[in-house]
Amino acid sequence: MDPPATEHIQNLDDIGDVVRDADDPRRRASWHYWSGYLRSLTGRGLALAINDCRDSAAIAAAADLDEIVGFATSSLAMAYSFAGRPREAIEAGEQALAIFEAGGNRLWASRTLWHLTLAANMLGEWEMSLAYCRRALAHGAAVDDRRLQAIGLWRMGSVHVQRGDPRSGIKCCDEALALTPSPYDAAHAKAVRGYGQIKLGQLGAGVAEMAEALAWFENFRLRQPSLRWALWLVEGYLLSGDVDRARSLAIDILNESREAGYRHIEGLACWLMSDCLGRDDDPSAAEEYVEQAIRIFEAIGARNDFAKALATRAGLLWRTGDSVAARQLFGETRDIFAALGTCDEQAMVEDALGEVDRGSALSRHHHARSVRPPAGRQSAD
């Protein structure tokens, strides 16, 4: 990852006019998909990245350059995921995957499967995502490629952690790190492992590992992964009681994601801002942010995150004394989590419903939608 991706973009921009004027479809198509791929990662013009990938696919298709069509549509799947368009990402990714698997290109088949699992995670389709991960791992094993296997493992770990099985997620990350991956891939694995530790209530270790991984990505100015992992760090800060740091980081993420066009990250940042403001006893501002999050998640089709935002809104209603409306929203949330198989969130909402039925006072734990340490675990190291 040296030099930074932003320098690669500048190099591509410097030769852009020459390439576009060239009577060489292969070179023109290749320039467009690499430009789109790198712009997606750095947050420098996501709409332009999507157009570049589309242009690449069109140029390549007209010239019967099937493999480059695959490169372009794979990169388009990544760009669509980052833009919060997961269903379009899956459509493009499946097209690319068919090309690469038919041609025996296991490297790019694996890359495409990684984009597909990201889109499936956004939709809360955990079983679909795990199936993509297993498929990617099979490609890596077939060619005995340790890097492909390491990436497949930490991505599988990410699915497990997000669906509420942090122990399985941490195990996958440990296996990935045992393969001695590159610093880039190790930083990803450590970020996921850190979130798993946070979910288990090992807050000190989890926050420290997340912060270390985040610093690595920020050093290379890779905005999309930086912002994605920073969201999990906000959760760690909230659980640790460091609301000021959580709020400061959440607003930074919100501003950057809006500028870059990372729609899903924007929604998550709005949801976390609501939790931060709810803890600061500012229910009006918290309600405004959670409503923004709900609208974004509903538009995207991000059902798991939609349910998390509904749970936060239910907590706000409960806090103001509207237990009837709160119970209805908690019930909707429970049903979504049950349908998706998000076990930790479902358990948390079941607890909240029990407290509503008992007429208990709102606990900060339920309003903040914080992750719940398993029985017998402490909430700090």
- Helices then strands, counting H and E runs in the chain, come out as 20, 0
Q: Rounded to 5 degrees, what angle do the CA atoms 46, 52, 58 make?
A: 140
96-105, 181-190, 357-366: least confidently modelled range: 357-366
Domains 1-125 and 237-381 equal at CATH topology level: yes
Res. 299: pLDDT tops 80: yes
Per-residue model confidence (pLDDT) at position 222: 75
pLDDT above 90 (res 177): yes
Give residue 163's pLDDT band: very low, low, confident or very high (50, 70, 90).
very high
Residues 205-216 pLDDT 10s: 999 999 999 998
Phi/psi-derived region of residue 292, left when phi > 0, alpha when psi is between -120 and 50, beta in every other case:
alpha
- Domain 1-125 of CATH type 1.25.40.10: yes
CB 284 within 8 A of CB 316: no
| C-alpha Rg value of the chain to the nearest Å | 21
SS (H, E, C) 179-212: CCCCHHHHHHHHHHHHHHHHHCCCHHHHHHHHHH
Tallying the residues shown for the chain, one arrives at 381
Residue owning tokens 């900060």: 364
**CATH number of the structural domain 237-381:** 1.25.40.10
pLDDT digit string (tens) for 272-284?
Answer: 999 999 887 788 9
Predicted confidence at residue 10, as pLDDT, reads 73
Distance, in Å, from the CA atom of 36 to the CA atom of 52, rounded to the nearest integer, reads 5
> In the numeric block, which tokens belong to residue 136?
């990617």
Please give the Cα distance from 343 to 162 (Å, whole number): 10
pLDDT at 237: 96
**What is the average pLDDT across 105-117?**
97
Sorted by where each begins, the domain ranges of the chain are 1-125, 237-381
Structure-token pair, residue 177: 């790190």
pLDDT over threshold 90, residue 2? no
Looking at every residue in the chain, the average pLDDT score rounds to 90
Output the pTM of the full model.
0.90
